[in-house]
Amino acid sequence: MSVDFLQTCPSQSYLPAVIRHNLAGWFVEFYSYNPLSQKRERVKYRLNKYRKKFRTMTEFRVWTGQLCYSINSKLSMGWSPFGGTSFIVSTSLGTAQQVMAAPMIGVPQMPVNTPIVPTQPKVGIQPVPQKPKKKTRADEPLVKVIDKFIEEKSLELRKSTLYSYNSFCVNFKAWVKEKYPNITASEFAQEYALEYMEYVFRGGNSRPHAKAKLSDNGTVCPRTYNNNLKQGRAVFSWAVSNCYATENPFAKIKVKREEEKQRILIPQDVRAKIADYFKEKNPAMMIICDMTYSTLLRPIEISRIQIKYIDIEHGTITMPGDKTKNHKNRICRISPNILPIFKEYIKDAEPDDYLIADGSWRCGKKPMNSHTFSSAWDRMRTDLGLPSEMQLYSLRDTGINSMLRAGLDPLSVMQAADHHDLSMTTRYANHADPELFKRLNELAPGF
């Protein structure tokens, strides 16, 4: 093989450059003729430091395509890294940068900041076409991954739980489309997750009616922030388990410290005023209040009650697991005080009717949203001049506290309240009791 081999037979003097990836990272590889050894030798340049300069994998792939084209063009014109002119490639970052170093001692370093002069291969010499890279799940755009997450969860979760995930995903997807429309789930790093959580914290995805509830500095409450963080972790936990991503970018973001729930117990005299108000204004709401206090059902669980779950003869309601918060079957009592009113209320209802129907406050086919209960409660609270800390859910807190104060054993109260453990039940005994000092003055001995 003669020394003039590069000039006489350039098509046989090299194998074209290709981009490869292994455990060590990204690199470009090609074979070029070495006049010293008079044979083709492998040349390899690592590209890991250049990968970090690109925001997305798409931009990096465009750049590596340009890099391979430039190398192959030079090779087809007779260039060799073992001797001759070296070259540079401009990155998409806007500056020409040195992308290769000489692989052997004595070989000239490539010049920096030299403009690229595009060259065309000689006539009849064409670069060897590269096989297209097989598309993997890691290449799936994040917006499509979000859609697939919701599609799968819609087959597993009940509507009320799915509503919360769907609300998060709609807001998250809209933000991704606006900020990083082509980003994949595998490229969505912690810095992007932090950027989104800052957007949430500043009320960016809050609905118009919720913006009025932002704090004085224009931020959402810690509970709203933490709920979004929890849902973001759930989405990417699913993405990792389904090979769309390699890590969860929300996992290491810290939750914000939440304040204690702003609810207080409702004294007996105030409960009497509430009962009188609803008996006149809205009898169905009176039933809801009594059930929240004595049956210890949560308002959202009351909205799911169907007539077929009610046993008037034994004064019980049997709630299936798909209707309860903790997904467990539950049997609740109906207070003897409300049982006659309850019986009259449901006498004409069908077994599949809901206890409180949407729009009518009677039994019917379409359940009423529990937020409607809260709206009726808020109107009553305004009319009676009660503090905002007295919420509809406060009746459940008060009922649990009253049972413990009445001497019922905590285990029975825990079962009635559908709690997981006694610590949760006994926590209600520490609620600020407005009648505590009255009882102390009456029963505590003097000095």
Q: Report the predicted TM-score, pTM, of the whole model to 2 decimal places.
A: 0.53
DSSP codes joined into one string, 338-361? THHHHHHHTTT--TTSBSSBTTTS
Burial of 7 (0-12, 13-18, 19+ CB in 10 A): exposed
Is pLDDT at 84 greater than 60 in this prediction?
Answer: no
Is pLDDT at 63 greater than 60 in this prediction?
Answer: yes
Share of the chain above pLDDT 90, in %: 22
Q: What residues contact residue 141 under an 8 Å CB cut-off, 6+ apart?
A: 181, 182, 183, 184, 185
For 103, the token pair is 């692989």
Name the β-bridge partners of 19: 28
DSSP strands (E only) in 47-182: 89-90, 96-97
Residue 42 host element (H or E):
strand 39-46
DSSP codes joined into one string, 370-429? HHHHHHHHHHHHHHHT--TT--TTHHHHHHHHHHHHTT--HHHHHHHHT-SSHHHHHGGG
Q: Cα–Cα distance between 267 and 403 in angstroms, integer?
A: 14
Confidence of residue 249 (pLDDT cuts 50, 70, 90): very high
For 169, the token pair is 């995903």
- Assign residue 124 a region (left: φ > 0; alpha: ψ between -120 and 50; beta: otherwise): left
Is pLDDT at 62 greater than 50 in this prediction?
Answer: yes
Q: Cα–Cα distance between 338 and 399 in angstroms, integer?
A: 15
Q: Cα–Cα distance between 108 and 253 in angstroms, integer?
A: 48
Is pLDDT at 39 greater than 80 in this prediction?
Answer: yes
Model pLDDT for residues 326-352, shown as the tens digit of each residue: 778 888 888 888 888 888 888 888 999
Would you list the domain boundaries of the chain?
5-104, 138-241, 268-443
The three-state (H, E, C) secondary structure of 6-20, written as one string: HHHCHHHCEEEEEEE
Confidence of residue 435 (pLDDT cuts 50, 70, 90): low
Is pLDDT at 271 greater than 70 in this prediction?
Answer: yes
Is pLDDT at 208 greater than 60 in this prediction?
Answer: no
**CATH 3.40.50.300 fits domain 268-443:** no
Q: What residues contact residue 95 under an 8 Å CB cut-off, 6+ apart?
A: none
Burial of 46 (0-12, 13-18, 19+ CB in 10 A): middle
Q: Give residue for tokens 């520490």.
A: 430
Model pLDDT for residues 119-165, shown as the tens digit of each residue: 444 444 455 566 666 778 888 999 999 999 999 888 877 766 777 78
Is pLDDT at 105 greater than 50 in this prediction?
Answer: no
Confidence of residue 4 (pLDDT cuts 50, 70, 90): very low
Give the per-residue pLDDT at 240: 92
How many alpha carbons fall within 13 Å on the CB side of residue 34?
13
Q: Give residue for tokens 């063009």.
A: 73
Helix (H, G, I), strand (E, B) or coil at 27: strand
Model pLDDT for residues 370-426, shown as the tens digit of each residue: 889 989 999 999 999 999 888 898 888 888 888 888 888 888 888 888 887 777 777
Model pLDDT for residues 286-302, shown as the tens digit of each residue: 989 998 998 888 898 89
- Percentage helix, strand, coil for the chain under 3-state DSSP, each rounded to 5: 45, 10, 45
Confidence of residue 353 (pLDDT cuts 50, 70, 90): very high
Give the per-residue pLDDT at 437: 63
Q: What residues contact residue 107 under an 8 Å CB cut-off, 6+ apart?
A: 81, 82, 83, 86
Residues listed for the chain: 447
- Bridge-based pairing state of the strands 89-90 and 14-22: unpaired
* Contact call for residues 248 and 236 (beta carbons, < 8 A): yes
Model pLDDT for residues 176-200, shown as the tens digit of each residue: 999 998 899 999 999 999 999 999 9
